[in-house]
Amino acid sequence: MGGQRRSRAVENKKFESAVDMAQALPRLFKPIATSPTLTGEEKDNLAQCEAAVETLKAAFWAAGKALHIIRDARLYRQTHKTFDAYCEDRWGWERAYADKLIRTWPIAEALVKKQAMAETTPIGVKKLNQAQVWELVPAADVWDVDAATFVYETVIEVNGEKVTAEILNGAVKALPSAGEFDKKAVKDRIVDYFAGIGKRSTTTRSTAKREQSSDPIAARAEKAVQEKWLRKLAAKDQESAAAYIDHVQRQLNVLRAELLQPELLPGQREEAGVS
């Protein structure tokens, strides 16, 4: 049996540009084999294609860093008198857009480095994009890059990995406008920000419920669940909130089984948590 190649094609070939990389991709638009396991050649092809896709994720970060070098080292001076002219002639960009890329790259690089070092606690930068990083720039301007990355990590810790530019914008606006960067104070502000979002959502839903129904049973059920307290708990400690919800659900399962389903089969009783 032929052995599979140990090295991947993408590891052995260097490309001068993204265009070279795209042109070098295998013209492979149907499977080579039918087995679930990839052949050595297919593994090489997958690695090469994934490396090309990876360049898209890091494009704004790499471009910003490169432009920073070109600007500060004046590497444009042989062909252009100003960096503004260089950006417009070479890339078709206004200077403002180039400056925006330059301001975002240090934050993106710091987050990616932290992700690489986080062996057991990933901070969720797989979907990081320029719009998200741009919302962290004000924190970096007031304090530093470490402060901006702390804000991003805290948002993920409090709200999960569903991070959007809009969420980051609100979190950054909730921070103190100046002064020494205090991690505890910043985290408290972010927790309060998400609690406020939850409160607004709860108010909207409560209003809709009142309009839809005046059922006394529904009203009693709403009082039984301390939603406001639970949302605050979830904002600070999602694990404890999940444990509380699981406990309540088990209690409800027991009551349902005892009061409404007395003839449950053994397997159904076990599922409901009734011995």
**Residue-wise pLDDT tens for the chain (275 aa)?**
444 444 444 445 566 677 777 777 887 777 788 888 888 888 888 888 888 887 777 788 889 999 999 999 999 999 999 999 999 999 999 999 999 999 999 999 999 888 877 654 556 677 788 999 999 999 999 999 999 999 999 998 888 767 889 999 999 999 987 788 989 989 989 988 888 776 554 444 454 455 444 566 766 676 677 776 677 677 767 777 777 787 888 888 887 777 775 555 555 555 555 55
Q: How many residues does the chain have?
A: 275
Q: What is the pTM of this model?
A: 0.60
Q: Report the pLDDT value the prediction gives residue 199, as an integer from 0 to 100.
A: 55
Helix (H) or strand (E) segment spanning residue 75: none
Burial class (CB in 10 A: 0-12, 13-18, 19+), 79: exposed
Count the alpha carbons within 13 Å of 24 in the hemisphere toward its beta carbon.
20
Helix (H) or strand (E) segment spanning residue 38: none
Distance of CA 142 to the CA centre of its chain: 23
Helix (H) or strand (E) segment spanning residue 258: helix 238-259
Question: d(Cα 233, Cα 230) in Å, to the nearest integer?
Answer: 5
Q: Report the pLDDT value the prediction gives residue 266, as an integer from 0 to 100.
A: 55
